[in-house]
Amino acid sequence: MKKIFYFFLIFSFTFLILNSNPAWAITVRIDRPKVRLSITPGGNKSGVINIENPSEKTMVVGVYLEDWLYNSTADGSKGFYPPDSTPLSCAKWITFAPAEFSIPPYGKQALNYTVNCPADAGGGHYAVMFFETSLGEARGEEGVSVLVLGRLGSLFCIEPEGTIKRVANLNNLSIVRNKGIDIKMDFENTGNVDITTEGTFYIMDEEGIIAARGEFSKAYTLPGDKAVISSNIPEESAAQIASGEYDLIVTIDLGGIPKVLETKLKIKPSGKISYPSLTSGQRNP
């Protein structure tokens, strides 16, 4: 009896696809990889996702919902879970049609969706709508047939109006001279909506002259998530910072809301760096 194994591909294609049959790298395209909606609690909003078949073969597409969460690495990678199984799920709020359809070669299909926001909803809620297609079969080990399925996802981020709080804590500042100067701190999403950080810093001397500047690594977080954001002043640039007293100003964008941290630095002739300990959020100058 033929054995069938199912491999699910999320947003990209596996080693098997790319190395066994390049034609399998062709799947559907969607025009809304992310749907972010602000909805009045108790209200609803509708929209359309357009799906395109860029191949010369008819494609059968199945559509279904799951939950998603960021992984603990905070690098944007995600884990996927059954619908309505996570605390921030909005999978049950979403209805759509059609749930299955065929797209002729080089054709398109429109999928209609409606998001119904409960009257008591508060804070960000999340789900993913997957579009799944069959990419073909391959012969695996010992003659086993492998059915390869591909799927693309459209992330849903729903924000009930009037309930969203974009707040965070910056703690445990660390400035270490290594190869250059390493700057890092803990970021904690203490609000009720997802935050992807955009962070910058500059070091300014007592005369207002910028001695160094840079950008922090991004952190992708949901409410309650923690991450470490970091940056580095290259060795050559760090060597040009003279001994003396400086201000370190850090700005983290919380999605249109800036959060600013300011602290004093003292760089000694030996190159050692001292600064006040930081154990809670920030002050806004």
Q: Using one digit for the tens of pLDDT, what is the confidence trace for 98-147?
A: 999 999 999 999 999 999 999 999 999 999 999 999 765 555 556 555 55
Cβ-based burial of 217 (10 A; exposed 0-12, middle 13-18, buried ≥19): middle
Radius of gyration of the chain (CA): 24
Residue 270: count of CB within 10 angstroms of its CB: 8
Helices (H) and strands (E) in the chain, counts: 2, 21
Query: 52-73, pLDDT tens digit by residue?
Result: 999 999 999 999 999 999 999 9
210: pLDDT strictly greater than 80: yes
Average pLDDT over every residue of 215-222: 97
Query: 253-278, pLDDT tens digit by residue?
Result: 998 899 998 999 999 888 889 888 65
Size of the chain in residues: 285
What are residue 75's DSSP bridge partners? none
Q: Residues 85, 88, 92, 95: what is their CA dihedral angle, to the nearest 10 degrees?
A: -130
pLDDT more than 90, % of the chain: 72
DSSP H/E element including 236: helix 235-238
Q: Which domains does the chain have, with CATH numbers?
A: 4-160 (2.60.40.10), 168-274 (2.60.40.10)
The secondary structure of residue 89, as a DSSP letter, is: B
